Structure 1
Amino acid sequence: MTFSSSLHRPGFLSPSWLTLTIASLHASMVGAQTAGDTSLPTLATVEVVGRTASGAYHAEEAAGAKTDLPLRELPQSVRVITRQAIDDLGATKLDDVLDYVGGVSRQNNFGGLWDNIAIRGLPGNENTGMATLLNGFSSNRGFNAPRDLAGVERIEFLKGTAAALYGSSEPGGTLNVVSKRPLWTTANSVEGYVGSYGLKRGALDTTGPIGDNVAYRLNVAVEDRDSFRDHVDAKRQVIAPAFTWKLSRDSMLEYVGEVIHHETPLDRGVVAVDNKLGKIPRSRFLGEPSDGDVEVDNSTHQLILSQAWVETWRSRLGLSYRETSIEGYSSEPTSLQANGDLWRQRRYRDYASEDIALQAEIQGIVNTGTVEHELLLGVETFRFEMDSVMLRANPSAGNPYAINIYSPVYGQAQATPVANTDTLEEQRNTAFYVQDAIKLAPQWRVLAGVRVDNYEQTLENRRTNTTTKQDPSSTSPRVGLSWLPSEQWTVYANAGQSFRPNSGVDVDGQGFDPEVGKAFELGTKWENEGQRIGVTAALFDIRKSNVLTADPDNAGSSIAAGEVRSRGAELDFAGQVTRNLRVNASLVLNDVEITKDNTLEEGERLLNVPRVNGSLLTVYEDNFANGQRYGIGGGVTYVGERLGQARTQAEADAGTPEFNLPAYTTAKLVGYWRLNSSVRLTMDVDNLFDETYYTSSYSRVWVTPGAPRTITVGMQAKF
């Protein structure tokens, strides 16, 4: 056994190092070309702060994969939404980019208070949402405000199971958000936006060195907007500081922070009448304005120590601390009467959580003969506490607390919520994982890994003075194989297993077995010679078991016996097609259904998952005769028909019709005009043709409508 002798590979210490290296390389190449060397290719301009221009849609690596293998060689489908794509879309929140990622569908968004998606048709827990990471640390535990993109560099959608690296997750995929990092050259940008429905947003992005060994970055955003929904507005403040310390030539300490305050009324949307939507305006609010706003607060702090050792070995020690909370009143629909009266339930929530996690990893190269191994060894431990208090007042015939959907009258006497939920939950986990990226030969790659989780959960019910415990430990393996027949093509296959603990207890007070997923994927990738265009096509088959379903022998109880299957085909395209034109496109066919359940109809689809969805975004850039630059483009998205409310087998047998959300197509326009090197004007038009559509649903009385045509204009200035 021998150790490889190369030292300090690119991207070793931090993403900001790589960004600065690219910028420096570009500057040197431009200088060489100016001197008359025409043999060098023309690279795109790299802008370090503010909205980018002439950047890339196609990414060559993903931090969430935890390997130095280029994405083309990785035996897994990964879709990266780069900062360029975020800026071209005019996206300020995660929800703005979802339609442009194949295989992603929106789920119940908790009345506009969080993000929630399914990847490849499989949603996460309805109370914790999708599997999400922030810089490789879990960020979906607790109560999370809608993701703002002010401090985000890129978003990585790791499709398929990632449990071999990250533990508890969905087998359909995991989302990793990568924060902006400090740069070692001074740069500053301010942005201002105004738009339809009272939108006002300002943002600051500033970065640079503080002496020889410390660099900072600060992103700040403040947003205030009304809404096309009556009596609904939103306010948001984001502060995202980051610091990098060069402790020595081979070690670096990074701090990444983020504080978000978000407040808006909890809005369950509109209702369907006789299984049909559109009977009331999409603007009609069916809650109670006097409830006021629900406030969501998130605070995240991460410390990461990176160390280069001998040869190609390096280590990473990371600490993450997060606090989240949600507090406020809401009036939420329960049932619609024949005369149009909508009965409502009044709730008060006061939830808080604390999450501390520690990761330690060592990674390096080992050669065994002619075979090269890139080994990753890691340990992770976390402690999560969640304090949940909810008061609730249920409607009754004597006090329905109703509002008429056709002629709403607000300001009626409100019921006083009484005790409903009062729990303290604690989760602890210690996990060990190993991954080996093997270069068997010039044309063959193998990626194998396994993670062992030792999970403990304690739930104290303070109303009943009872405590339940469970410890669903799990082993999650994964293996993938890539064949590289040429420098542009890859053919790959992978298989893996995932798990996710089920919350609650059965009729005997025992915890449930965790959900277990098995995922299989077969695909091919193509990348052009200049590595500016990337295409991935994939087939997948995923089975999930131990899904909670009704206990047939004990009414009101559950057992872990349900099963779900998802299978389909995906096509993703992203890149710089010509010097002036870049394109992002996707098309997905997804068949997901319930294969076993004691209550729900077998063979039925899952909520909010279309069989077909696709998108296309194109942007064309060029210069005016006077040297000013412009860009113009547009996007089209299609989302197929989706199930809007789960139907039981008894309802199906009785002939109760399905409730479906209709398919929709939306279009958008984007454009910018760069007046000079420092100032740029932008305009974004969403839902260009003012399509009436519905993005997601939980039931016939909780349906989220999409926004009408909206126009946003902005100005960005660098200094």
Structure 2
Amino acid sequence: MSPTHPTSSLHRLLKGVSLFSLALASGLYPALAQEAVTLETVVVSGNGGDGTGPGGGVTADGYVATRAEVGTKTDTPLVKVPQAINVVTSQQLEDRKVQTLKEALDYTPGIVNQAFGFDNRFDSFYIRGFNVTYDAVYRDGLRELPGNFSLFKTEPYGLDAISILKGPSSVLYGGGAPGGIVNLVSKRPTEDTYRVIEGQIGNNSRYQSQFDLSGPVAGNDNVLYRLTGLYRDADTDLRSVPDDRIFIAPAVTFRSDDRDTSLTLLGEYSHAEVGGNASFFNEDGRITNLESGDPASGPFVQDQGRVGYEFKHRFNETWSVRQNLRYAHIYADVPYGQIDAIAPDRLTAQRSSWIIQDKLDSLAVDNQAQAEFQTGTVDHTVLMGLDYNHVDVDDRIGYGPAPDLDLVSLNYGAQPFERPDYNYRNVTTKQHQTGAYLQDQLEWNSFILTLGGRYDWVSNKDHDNDLGSDTKQDDTNFSGRVGLGYLFDNGIAPYVSYSTSFSPTIGANADGTSFKPTEGEQVEAGIKYQPTDLNLTASAAVFNIVQSNVLAPDETNPLFQVQRGEVRSRGLELEAATSLPNGINLTAAYTYLDLEITEGDNVGSTPSGIPAHQFAVWGDYTFVNGPAEGLGLGLGLRVEGKSFGDDANTLKNDARLLVDASVTYDFSKLSESMKGTQAKLNVKNVFDDREPTYSGTYGYRGEGRQIIGSLRYQF
């Protein structure tokens, strides 16, 4: 049996808030809505309103982002950055009631997140054809270094925005995939008072409540706070996979009267219980309807916490310094059962019992000094940085026998699963990475030249605790970027850039050989459009990327991954977003991707699971006058083209169309006393498409229809 996790006072507190919010949603406290104060809705985006900081703040109006620090680590308009950047704003997260990081990226060009079907264990996705699950997720500008199963679980309700920097980005961030990086921007304290509680009810016995409170402390504008929390009790389409979570994230900002100095403290704790095995049994290369997992094995339990700070100080008009630091810990306990084979008589399925336990501790710090000055007619923004990342992971794996599954009665959960010993793997991994970087953004007339270089020192050590043996690898690498753009007065900005990547990779393949670092390079050209008289942004980019040592699923052992020789990715990305005063919000994206294995096995083939064409559009319209005033309607279409189900390209996945929709009503249009009360119904995958997708010759089934009804009250 899996170890128990005692219910804490925090658990009881959040559950109490959950019951209160759901009671409000059910109409048990109608008097409360009558006492709603008349505060205007606050759309929170970025880093709490101060516009700059080391954490990758975002400035946005509705669906339209104008600034995101992810591209340069400085407060630079997106049109001046010589690489493609996509931003999922806070309003997009709210309008679609996003529940996972993968869902948040559904309408972003260049991203594939359906290759492995429904799996709430991890946020697995590809950028520009490269799997970035393990080496490209950042939180507030600092990399979230993972272990084997100790990957950080992202709660979207704790985010202000998500910014995606496309292409190799090691010049500023060190480790990173050549497809790009995803930077998660945490909610930060706001200058204005902001208080929201919300209850949600959905299919699969889903119950959730959440709250978000922010503003000055005791009326002191120099001390701001934010407290965000969530409680969820839910099942999923699979009987062995729950979707339960507790999340709480406090934040406090201290700042000087002149706003030249500020310190923001950021914390988070989450407890998640999901399924250790979300797959379906595959037989003879085809997926079946048999769930491979069993609820009797127990849930995948993960406790995760982080604490850190962001500090910044401006000395004068020229010099400023910033520091961003975070310590994080993960405990992941993953018991699960799996079907190994069907008996010859087809009456029973033979199974095994597995256990994976990861403990992870990580420390990340990024120190920056910025100088703004002129040399003649050229404006300079010079950034100097020194960052350090450390991760320590204990990874243990064991397996043993499990009772057969009766294929007639399908007696899932009726037989006990013994927790096996750790007899398969017992390894401690430690990695240190130090990077020094220098960047200069030069502006002359309407030309913008961006130059950057970085040098990394990386040490990786694996210690086999059973054998007492060590495997150590030290690497150094120089990464660079050069980009040139031109900003026309009408908001059009063409650009061209060259950038490289270097990514140390934690872990090993099935035979215990440590993964080698990856290297990549990209040439990109594009055009961005951001008019000054319209809340609109549009962009187009073409690119060519080459990377060696690409990670891919191990087709003979799904617990591990393997490395290919070389992959080339080239393609086209288009994106547009707008939010207009007449109630229209719209985002649209198109991706064409030509992906090819150029060295190693299956040369000339396309890596599996990645479609050549993708199109996504989400539109939201709110009636601003007339009898339907306050009613909002949303509709989303996601089209995935055909893809290959194996790297040999002998198996094909059909194209598919997924539909999402929403209906919203603002009750303040009925009565001023109900101001701040909003009801919403969101349906994802309206037509319940559960057709399987094959990747790495293994079949995965997508998530079925998801229905969430919510009642939100802002006061």
TM-score computed with the length of structure 1 as normaliser: 0.83
The SS at the match of 1:361 is strand
Q: Distance in 2 between matches of 1:329 and 1:507?
A: 19
- CA contact 2:366–2:385 (8 Å) conserved in 1: yes
The 1:549–1:331 alpha-carbon spacing in structure 2 relative to 1, beyond 3 Å, is: closer
Q: Distance in 2 between matches of 1:507 and 1:667?
A: 39
The 1:343–1:373 alpha-carbon spacing in structure 2 relative to 1, beyond 3 Å, is: farther
Alignment equivalent of 2:308, drawn from 285, 297, 302: 302
Q: Distance in 2 between matches of 1:115 and 1:509?
A: 25
Superposed, which structure 2 residues align to 1:176-195 within 5 Å?
Answer: 176-195=183-202
Over residues 36-68 of structure 1, what are the superposed CA-to-partner deviations in whole Å (9 max), with x where a residue is unaligned? xxxxxxxxxxxx9xxxxx951110011212123
| Pairwise CA distance, 1:443 | 1.9
| Pairwise CA distance, 1:248 | 5.2
- CA contact 1:489–1:524 (8 Å) conserved in 2: yes
2:573 corresponds to: 570
Q: Is the aligned partner of 1:155 residue 2:162?
A: yes
| Pairwise CA distance, 1:18 | 3.8
The 1:718–1:402 alpha-carbon spacing in structure 2 relative to 1, beyond 3 Å, is: same
Over residues 615-672 of structure 1, what are the superposed CA-to-partner deviations in whole Å (9 max), with x where a residue is unaligned? 010111123547952211200001123333444xxxxxxxxx8344332111111121
2:23 corresponds to: none
Superposed, which structure 2 residues align to 1:208-247 within 5 Å?
Answer: 208-211=215-218, 212=220, 213-247=222-256
The SS at the match of 1:607 is coil
2:613 corresponds to: 612
| Pairwise CA distance, 1:197 | 1.2
The SS at the match of 2:109 is coil
What letter matches 2:121 in structure 1? L
| Pairwise CA distance, 1:403 | 3.9
The SS at the match of 1:95 is helix
Superposed, which structure 2 residues align to 1:269-288 within 5 Å?
Answer: 269-273=279-283, 275-277=285-287, 280=289, 284-288=290-294
The 1:681–1:566 alpha-carbon spacing in structure 2 relative to 1, beyond 3 Å, is: same
Over residues 56-107 of structure 1, what are the superposed CA-to-partner deviations in whole Å (9 max), with x where a residue is unaligned? 1110011212123210121110000001111111213212222201111125
The 1:513–1:227 alpha-carbon spacing in structure 2 relative to 1, beyond 3 Å, is: closer
The SS at the match of 2:296 is helix
| Pairwise CA distance, 1:271 | 3.8
What letter matches 1:258 in structure 2? E
- CA contact 1:549–1:562 (8 Å) conserved in 2: no
| Pairwise CA distance, 1:522 | 0.9
2:658 corresponds to: 666
What letter matches 2:662 in structure 1? V
1:146 corresponds to: 153
What letter matches 2:239 in structure 1? D
2:330 corresponds to: 324
Superposed, which structure 2 residues align to 1:259-278 within 5 Å?
Answer: 259-273=269-283, 275-277=285-287
- CA contact 1:265–1:294 (8 Å) conserved in 2: yes
Q: Distance in 2 between matches of 1:91 and 1:447?
A: 35
1:687 corresponds to: 685
- CA contact 1:145–1:297 (8 Å) conserved in 2: no
2:602 corresponds to: 601
- CA contact 1:109–1:115 (8 Å) conserved in 2: no
Q: Distance in 2 between matches of 1:348 and 1:507?
A: 16
Q: Distance in 1 between matches of 2:677 and 2:635?
A: 22
What letter matches 1:235 in structure 2? D
Q: Is the aligned partner of 1:481 residue 2:488?
A: no
Q: Is the aligned partner of 1:634 residue 2:632?
A: no
What letter matches 2:499 in structure 1? G
The SS at the match of 2:80 is coil
Alignment equivalent of 1:252, drawn from 254, 262, 274: 262
Q: Distance in 1 between matches of 2:306 and 2:111?
A: 26
Stretches of structure 1 lacking an aligned partner (at least 5 in a row): 1-13, 21-47, 49-53, 394-398, 551-556, 648-656
Alignment equivalent of 1:118, drawn from 116, 126, 150: 126
Alignment equivalent of 1:409, drawn from 387, 408, 411: 411
What letter matches 1:133 in structure 2? Y
What letter matches 1:305 in structure 2? F
Residues paired across the two proteins, number: 642
What letter matches 1:575 in structure 2? T
Q: Distance in 1 between matches of 2:589 and 2:194?
A: 34
Superposed, which structure 2 residues align to 1:53-64 within 5 Å?
Answer: 56-64=62-70
The 1:254–1:356 alpha-carbon spacing in structure 2 relative to 1, beyond 3 Å, is: same
Q: Distance in 1 between matches of 2:284 and 2:511?
A: 40
Q: Distance in 1 between matches of 2:397 and 2:710?
A: 41
- CA contact 2:118–2:701 (8 Å) conserved in 1: no
The 1:485–1:294 alpha-carbon spacing in structure 2 relative to 1, beyond 3 Å, is: same
- CA contact 1:233–1:265 (8 Å) conserved in 2: yes
What letter matches 1:16 in structure 2? G
The 1:574–1:404 alpha-carbon spacing in structure 2 relative to 1, beyond 3 Å, is: farther
Q: Distance in 2 between matches of 1:224 and 1:391?
A: 29
What letter matches 2:236 in structure 1? S
The SS at the match of 2:65 is coil
Query: Percent identical across equivalent pairs?
Result: 27
| Pairwise CA distance, 1:687 | 1.4
Over residues 417-468 of structure 1, what are the superposed CA-to-partner deviations in whole Å (9 max), with x where a residue is unaligned? 34111111111121101111110x2221111111111111111101111011
Q: Is the aligned partner of 1:203 residue 2:213?
A: no
- CA contact 1:121–1:609 (8 Å) conserved in 2: yes
Q: Is the aligned partner of 1:133 residue 2:138?
A: yes
- CA contact 1:662–1:693 (8 Å) conserved in 2: no
Is the deviation greater in 341-350 or in 94-103? 341-350
The SS at the match of 2:92 is helix
What letter matches 1:15 in structure 2? N
| Pairwise CA distance, 1:472 | 1.1
Is the deviation greater in 185-194 or in 337-346? 337-346
What letter matches 1:259 in structure 2? Y
The 1:674–1:504 alpha-carbon spacing in structure 2 relative to 1, beyond 3 Å, is: closer
| Pairwise CA distance, 1:509 | 9.9
| Pairwise CA distance, 1:547 | 4.4
Q: Distance in 2 between matches of 1:413 and 1:716?
A: 42
- CA contact 2:692–2:700 (8 Å) conserved in 1: yes
The 1:508–1:269 alpha-carbon spacing in structure 2 relative to 1, beyond 3 Å, is: closer
The SS at the match of 1:468 is strand
The 1:516–1:19 alpha-carbon spacing in structure 2 relative to 1, beyond 3 Å, is: closer
The SS at the match of 2:91 is helix
